[in-house]
Copies of this chain bind each other. A is one copy, B any other.
């Protein structure tokens, strides 16, 4: 086993329980950008299984980018780690001061169901996956006292430094942004975890937690960091990048259309979101399937491929292209850099892989009326703004009893938004600033 290349530890679910602590440690820390406190974690695994925390704010619709942290979390679950997913509704609510709290609750529930569906689609054991809603403890007296304590130990300078890579950098940040690292540090204690997982952009928040939790009497945790993966249009993968935003419920045709628009210059590997997605999502999931004894479930590896292949690109025969199998993401990158793989062919293979990944999730959604209802409540159809007419037009509203439930929900949301705008004119821009800071922080 020691000779297995990094990231290819085969773990059939039947034998996962028999992994040695060292094997678990390898699985948990493989393919990461950095691990802080690795020795501490390694020692702990000799005693018992670990507990981990990953946070996300249930605001916008979860997009394809979520596959990146979830694919890494798949390793944790396989290695018997108890994974706590923090659904940060308090932040999401702040992000949505203008929206009714019910919307945020529905979104937290949608995130919970979707993330569960993703892990189910990956054939993973779910009994160690726990969802915790932020408001279940972030308003408590003890948490509040601890937060006061941290504010009395943390200078504005240190808070700003800790959030430097995740909180929007403006000359005068909102206080909520400055509090961010403090809350995220406390969450480790309140969720009772051994390590926190996040993108490498979280590094300064993680080192803040390591430094400050012991100051208020709590233990220092380990921190595991993913590489930053470029979005499909290049640059940081983020909700605010519309071309990165392939929705988990997008149809195969929509996926195809969006991938065709993705930034993927011939021969360019650096910042190539398509290659990055294959490296960080498709290949690791393929290895997971293989470890589960389900190599054939990897629809992105051709049936005729050699046993060690991880990805297949089929060139269009019209242009003399041939079928090529790759044994590692590096091999694929090299071939692409050398111009041996055409961007169109790469995209076609990627579309096929994405649709294969989405299919079981969408099937679960289609078969579950409750899941669908939650999605409707979480993201009611948007009301398009109608430009104001110069001449006032007489308008007879549809009688309340004739409205559909969707129309009622839409009108309620509109009224709440108008009321909030009225009460907080100046505040709104600042809320918007916060929204971006929250989304940037929590989207991986």
Contacts and interface: CB of A to CB of B under 8 A. Distances in A.
B178 A178 contact: yes
A156 B139 contact: no
A341 interface: no
B153 A156 contact: no
Interface string A283-302: 00000000000000000000
A158 to B, nearest CB: 8
Contacts of A148: 90, 94, 176
A370 B182 CA distance: 41
Interface residues of A, number: 42
A153 B154 CA distance: 21
For this chain, the copies found in one complex come to: 2
B149 A175 contact: no
A172 B156 contact: yes
A159 B176 CA distance: 12
A321 interface: no
Contacts of A182: 175
Given A139-B141, A215-B424, A151 B179 contact: yes
Nearest to A145: B139
Most buried by B among A144, A145, A152, A178: A152
A290 B140 CA distance: 51
A97 interface: yes
Interface string A403-438: 000000000000000000001101100110010000
Interface in A376-400: none
A182 B179 CA distance: 13
A178 B159 CA distance: 12
Nearest to A159: B175
A134 B30 CA distance: 49
A204 to B, nearest CB: 16
Nearest to A158: B172
A423 B215 contact: yes
A142 to B, nearest CB: 8
A97 B214 contact: no
Given A158-B172, A215-B423, A215-B426, 4 more contacts: A97-B149, A150-B175, A154-B430, A215-B424
Shortest 5 CB-CB contacts between residues of A and residues of B: A157-B172, A139-B141, A151-B175, A151-B176, A155-B172
